[in-house]
């Protein structure tokens, strides 16, 4: 993609997405010029999946950019991202949640996070089962930790052509959010985010009630790993 195309893609997506659906531009593996083109198109939320890359790009981009961590996060990388990150989408264990809380406390921050749900058929995708997620909340762990704010859930659908299956999985993520919102998080205003939908399936996610899509390839083109 050229600089002009990237800028145009951002503008088109902002026009296309319904009010209430935030766009995270997934810029992993793309050079800073591509991110600046998206910034020029009005984009401020960027998603990265590697701790080192967020650290490098953070210092090169304007300071009003918000950095989201969307990939699998290892405990030993938490320290690298906690100073810069505005939302971690991928909390997939109690251990990781405690680790982020401890590091945030150490540097005097409160970090916003989402609980990642595993609903896809692939065993390679990370995340909590719906039961594990409920247990984490019901056991009081999320209340006990004062330096993380639980802002919602995130999930990925199976990589399949079967749109009905993708729709069912997104529906399950949204329903889990709704149950949590109606019970434990009823009075918690910041619990308002359902992060689901990528380049191939964001239309379905919008239909199923996403509030935040994470789009890379549609904006920046194919990644070169």
Q: Where along the sequence are the contacts to ligand PLP (CB under 6 A)? A: 26, 28, 49, 70-71, 198-200, 214-218
What's the closest the beta carbon of residue 198 comes to ligand PLP, in angstroms? 4
Which residue, 185 or 202, has its beta carbon nearer to ligand PLP?
202
As to burial, measured by CB atoms within 10 angstroms (0-12 exposed, 13-18 middle, 19+ buried), residue 18 is exposed
CB of 182 to ligand PLP, least distance (A): 26
CB of 40 to ligand PLP, least distance (A): 20
- Is the CB of 113 or the CB of 145 nearer to ligand PLP? 113
Note whether 10 and 42 are within 8 A (CB).
Answer: yes
Q: Rank residues 27 and 145 by Cβ distance to ligand PLP and give the closer one.
A: 27
Q: In whole angstroms, how close is the CB of 186 to ligand PLP at the nearest point? A: 28
- For ligand PLP, which is the closer residue by CB, 130 or 205? 205
Whole-Å CA distances, 30 to 50, 177, 206: 12, 32, 26
Tokens of 14: 């902002």
What value, to the nearest 5°, has the Cα angle with vertex 65 and ends 133 and 125? 30
**Total length of the chain:** 225
| Distance from C-alpha of 196 to C-alpha of 194, rounded to nearest angstrom | 6
């Amino acid at each position: 993609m050229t600089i002009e195309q990237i800028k145009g893609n951002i503008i088109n997506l902002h026009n296309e997405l319904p009010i209430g659906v935030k766009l995270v531009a997934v810029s992993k593996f793309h050079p800073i010029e591509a991110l600046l083109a998206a910034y020029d198109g009005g984009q401020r939320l960027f998603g990265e999946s590697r701790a080192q890359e967020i650290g490098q790009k953070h210092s090169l981009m304007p300071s009003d950019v918000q950095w989201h961590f969307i990939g699998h996060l290892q405990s030993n990388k938490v320290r690298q991202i906690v100073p810069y990150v505005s939302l971690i989408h991928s909390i997939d264990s109690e251990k990781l949640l405690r680790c982020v809380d401890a590091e945030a406390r150490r540097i005097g921050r409160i970090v916003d996070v989402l609980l990642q749900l595993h609903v896809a058929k692939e065993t390679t995708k990370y995340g909590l089962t719906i039961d594990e997620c409920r247990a984490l909340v019901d056991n009081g762990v999320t209340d006990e930790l004062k330096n993380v704010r639980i802002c919602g859930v995130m999930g990925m659908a199976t990589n399949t052509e079967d749109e009905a299956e993708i729709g069912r999985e997104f529906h399950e993520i949204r329903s889990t959010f709704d149950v949590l919102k109606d019970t434990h998080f009823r009075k918690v205003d910041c619990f308002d985010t359902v992060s689901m939908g990528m380049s191939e399936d964001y239309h379905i996610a919008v239909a199923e009630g996403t509030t935040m899509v994470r789009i890379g390839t549609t904006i920046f083109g194919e990644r070169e790993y």
